[in-house]
Structure 1
Amino acid sequence: MTQNRWGIAGAGFIAGMFAWDMGFTNEATVTAVGSRDLAKAQAFADERGPMRAHGSYEELIADPEVDFVYVAVPHSEHARVAELAVRAGKPVLVEKPFALNAAQAESLFELAKSEKVFVMEGMWSRFLPHMAKLREVIESGRIGEVVSVSADHGLRFDPNFPEHRLYDRTLGGGALLDLGVYPVSLVAGLLGDITEISAYGTLTATGVDAETSAVMRDAAGRHGIISTSLSTESPNRASVNGTLGRVELGYNYMIPTDLRIVTFGEGNPAHGEKVEDYIGAVEGGMGWRFEALEVGRCVRAGTLESPVVPHALTLKTLRLMDEIRRQVGVRYDAD
């Protein structure tokens, strides 16, 4: 079997996790890494290799031994670097959030369509076993009609280090885009067209959101409730609540975790509950490779987007985050 040859744009933590996880599959391999700092790229290659190191994203994308590009640069550079890959005719996987705003994403999707190049947001959690199980349970009708979705994601990042990228507005910092994208995407994927949003936030001295909470309602009256934070480690759990039961997602539901499926006897909690636990384990690694394998499958099939992370879901998520940011007062230069 010919391996899909990947180049990684970026040499940070997530890029390293992606490269490590690719070591658990024989279908794909990382052949090169690129950074604006050649020494940083070389150090990454020495640690995660064997792979070639490039001192620019342009050099990485032009590498003849790179067939697929994974964009893992700061948020502010996602759209620009992805565009370079699309114009070079190379399928591209863009780490979440796909872009700073929906306008950037729309432009990139239009370009990819005109160039006939595959593009997908790297929402890796949608490929994990517990997330596939969640979709299966909902589609089966076991918990009835979805009534509400609630989810949070909060981690503490020391505010005494404002040079961290998540405190840097010019890099697309803030809780919402980096952490809140998970709960917002979960809501976007399970509810219909969102017609109302009420959002509240607390900003840092650097102008990004330290805390953001939002309540959303779709056209059918279903609710989505999300919260995200840079200031505290929240429960990091989610719940999908239906007329006949609910699905509780375990701690840190954006990585491999468990599900608890609770169904009501005769559709009424007063008649007792039936509980089923599902352990969504991944054998080897954490599962970042699954999104890369999906890109390979789609490209071999000749499709320009994935049914698991379709362009419409990425756009819906970004439009929701655009409105939430507008309400809480976070602005980026690209807006």
Structure 2
Amino acid sequence: MKKFQDSEVRWGIIGVGNVCEVKSAPAMNLVSNSRLVAVMRRDEAKVKDYAQRHQVPKWYMDAEGLINDPEVNAIYIATPPHKHLHYTKLAAAAGKPVYVEKPMARTYAECQEMIEACEQAGVALYVAYYRRALPHFVKIKELIEQGAIGKIRTVHIQMRQEAEPEIIAQLENNWRVNPEISGGGYFYDLASHQMDLMEFFFGKIGHAYGYKTNQAGLYKAEDQVVGVFAFKNGILGSGNWCFTSAKSTQLDLVTIEGSEGQISFETFGKGEFTLIKDYEQPIHFQFELPVHIQQPLIKSIVEDILGQGSSPSTGISGSGANWILEKMTQKAIN
């Protein structure tokens, strides 16, 4: 990896949309030795509006202009997944570290191309799996490693969501359920976070298998997936995802079973989880989450780029989620 020459990270964002309003981009000006200096979007009115509202000094309508701006020395790609590979290659060729939204790409093969492009250029590659840096998930990992619930036996993921009326009304503009853009449906959008989190807790998953189906027929992508997976250390896991369930049965629950207890939490909820140990009262943990949810991860990325620390989410780790998602959706049930 080439040594980063500057004393601060000056970000340029490609695809400055909704995720950049609160979740990510504002944090770039709050982290030490980090500034947001340029944004890009093809819609002139929208990119100018964003730049003015967030006091960003430069705006572009073409990605190459932003990438080649000499003031910009790191690139954040916040577009839908179908553009990640292309823009990563351009940024790597310009010698600039890359931070890319999740899922990392549409396919595992595209992820490998991104990793190779950055390795050949000698630049770092990071993925926005920011849950790896949130305090309650860091605490869960710590408890697991301390043996708080004994030896880990199994992990089970349950997710049920309704097909919300406003989603159905705007299907033509919803890239998340267009596999040509996103790689899959809401399973790719949401389960990618969950499977990455599983590898953060327990290490690499070596085997995965599952079935997908489209029961409701509302869009092209799968709306239900069941899967099983096995970590290289022998821990077994399973999951069931349905994105057209009844409103009254919606659920977001991950349960980690150990030989001496259990940890349960919501992936997309508040900074909370519950620890149950044998013959003891349940312990409820609650952490305050940052206003800009990606800030802890962005801080770690800036420190990694500057040689002052390390980031828990890289191109190598981020590609793992894509590999798992593909394995669990290879078999379609009509």
Instruction: Name the TM-score class by shorter chain.
Output: 0.7 to 0.9
Q: Deviations over 1:32-75 (max 9, x none)?
A: 11112232211221222233210011111112222221111011
Residue identity matched to 1:257? G
Q: Deviations over 1:248-295 (max 9, x none)?
A: 11x4x346511212222xxxxxxx12432221213x513312222111
Query: 2: distance between equivalents of 1:24 and 1:177?
Result: 30
The number of equivalent residue pairs is 318
Shift of 1:197: 1.5
Same amino acid, percent of matched pairs: 21
- Shift of the 111–165 alpha-carbon distance from structure 1 to 2, 3 Å rule, reads same
Shift of 1:196: 4.5
Compare 289-298 and 121-130 and name the one that shifted more.
Answer: 289-298
1:45 to 27, 46, 51: 51
The reply on whether 1:202 has 2:204 as its aligned counterpart is no
**Other-structure match for 1:222:** 235
Query: 2: distance between equivalents of 1:216 and 1:209?
Result: 19
Q: List alignment gaps of at least 5 residues for structure 2.
A: 1-5
Residue identity matched to 1:175? Y
On the 8 A contact 1:126/1:132 being kept in 2, the answer is yes
Residue identity matched to 1:238? V
SS at match of 1:209: coil
SS at match of 2:292: coil
Residue identity matched to 2:12? G
1:242 to 253, 258, 278: 258
2:36 to 30, 37, 41: 30
Q: Deviations over 1:102-154 (max 9, x none)?
A: 11111111221121100011101111001110111111111122111222445
On the 8 A contact 1:199/1:327 being kept in 2, the answer is yes
1:328 to 320, 323, 332: 332
How high is the TM-score relative to the length of structure 1?
Answer: 0.85
Residue identity matched to 1:176? F
- Shift of the 175–139 alpha-carbon distance from structure 1 to 2, 3 Å rule, reads same
**Other-structure match for 2:198:** 187
How do 1:1-335 residues align onto structure 2 when only pairs under 5 Å count?
Answer: 3-17=8-22, 18-155=24-161, 156-157=163-164, 158-163=167-172, 164-172=174-182, 173-189=184-200, 190=202, 192-202=204-214, 204-218=217-231, 222-232=235-245, 234-249=250-265, 251=266, 253-254=267-268, 256-264=270-278, 272-282=279-289, 284-301=290-307, 308-328=312-332
Query: 2: distance between equivalents of 1:52 and 1:42?
Result: 9
Query: 2: distance between equivalents of 1:27 and 1:255?
Result: 31
Shift of 1:225: 2.0
On the 8 A contact 1:3/1:28 being kept in 2, the answer is yes
How high is the TM-score relative to the length of structure 2?
Answer: 0.85
On the 8 A contact 2:14/2:76 being kept in 1, the answer is yes
Compare 316-325 and 213-222 and name the one that shifted more.
Answer: 213-222
Q: Deviations over 1:219-266 (max 9, x none)?
A: 5653222233443563222222111112111x4x346511212222xx
Query: 1: distance between equivalents of 2:64 and 2:318?
Result: 25
On the 8 A contact 2:27/2:298 being kept in 1, the answer is no
Report which structure shows greater RCO (CA 8 Å, sep ≥6): 2
On the 8 A contact 1:31/1:66 being kept in 2, the answer is yes
On the 8 A contact 2:131/2:197 being kept in 1, the answer is no
Query: 2: distance between equivalents of 1:319 and 1:3?
Result: 34
**Other-structure match for 1:333:** none
Q: List alignment gaps of at least 5 residues for structure 1.
A: 265-271, 331-335
**Other-structure match for 1:268:** none
- Shift of the 206–178 alpha-carbon distance from structure 1 to 2, 3 Å rule, reads same
On the 8 A contact 2:208/2:324 being kept in 1, the answer is no
- Shift of the 219–131 alpha-carbon distance from structure 1 to 2, 3 Å rule, reads closer
Residue identity matched to 2:297? E
